[in-house]
């Protein structure tokens, strides 16, 4: 089918930018007056971040700093999925923040339905954690991207592999 245009919808983030945001957050916590003596620890695992600190108030401050640093580094705060905070040893507080990456099958089906309802002639194809959108014209693809950006979707959406 020569002449068809396509792009892929994915949900991913730049892991190096996340590492940089975490490093900046650690430095800010060490220098900020209200957080300096809280013995805050920020640990990153493959798919989560664990924050351990003295109190609920300092935990909220650390999360605010982390989110602001992530936004400055062009990371969506939708990648952070905070779990319930729990007590840690020594009357401290711990919170695990899961990192969301990838599109589940249900989300991919929902995206396909949104696209097909708005543009019945557009073809969508679910390929693992990617949704490929194919159309005859670039204008249709541009309007689909605009439509999906207007939606307040629970995960960050990226549009890659644009082929015209």
Query: pLDDT at position 1, please?
Result: 47
Q: How many angstroms separate the most distant Cα atoms in the chain?
A: 66
Q: In terms of domains, do 95 and 107 share one?
A: no
63: which DSSP letter? H
Query: pLDDT at position 112, please?
Result: 93
72, 111, 133 from 108: Cα distances, Å: 28, 5, 11
Domain extent, residue 32, equals: 15-99
Of 56, 84, 99, the residue that ends a domain is 99
Label residue 43 left, alpha or beta by phi (over 0 means left) and psi (-120 to 50 means alpha). Answer: beta
Q: What is the pLDDT tens value at each position of the chain, 164 positions in all?
A: 456 889 999 999 999 999 999 999 999 999 988 888 888 999 999 999 999 999 899 999 999 999 999 999 999 999 999 999 999 888 899 999 999 999 999 999 999 999 999 999 899 999 989 999 999 988 889 999 999 999 888 889 989 988 87
Round to whole Å and give the CA distance between 36 and 92. 15
Contacts of 37 (CB under 8 A, 6+ apart): none
Per DSSP (E only), the strands in 62-115 are: 80-82, 86-88, 92-99
Q: In terms of domains, do 95 and 108 share one?
A: no
Instruction: Tell me if 57 sits within 8 A of 101, measured CB to CB.
Output: no
Rounded to two decimals, what is the model's pTM?
A: 0.83
Q: In terms of domains, do 87 and 120 share one?
A: no
Q: In terms of domains, do 29 and 75 share one?
A: yes
Query: pLDDT at position 52, please?
Result: 93
């Amino acid at each position: 089918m020569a002449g068809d245009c396509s792009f892929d919808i994915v949900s991913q983030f730049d892991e190096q930018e996340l590492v940089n945001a975490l490093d900046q957050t650690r430095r800010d916590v060490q220098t900020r007056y209200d957080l300096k003596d809280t013995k805050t620890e920020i640990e990153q695992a493959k798919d989560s971040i664990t924050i351990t600190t003295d109190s609920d108030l300092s935990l909220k401050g650390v999360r605010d700093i982390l989110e602001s640093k992530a936004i400055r580094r062009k990371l969506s705060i939708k990648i952070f999925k905070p779990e319930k905070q729990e007590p840690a040893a020594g009357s401290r507080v711990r919170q695990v923040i899961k990192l969301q990456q990838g599109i589940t099958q249900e989300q991919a089906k929902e995206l396909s339905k949104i696209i097909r309802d708005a543009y019945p002639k557009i073809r969508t194809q679910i390929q693992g954690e990617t949704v490929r959108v194919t159309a005859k014209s670039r204008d249709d693809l541009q309007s689909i991207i605009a439509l999906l950006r207007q939606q307040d979707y629970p995960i960050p959406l990226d549009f890659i592999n644009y082929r015209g």
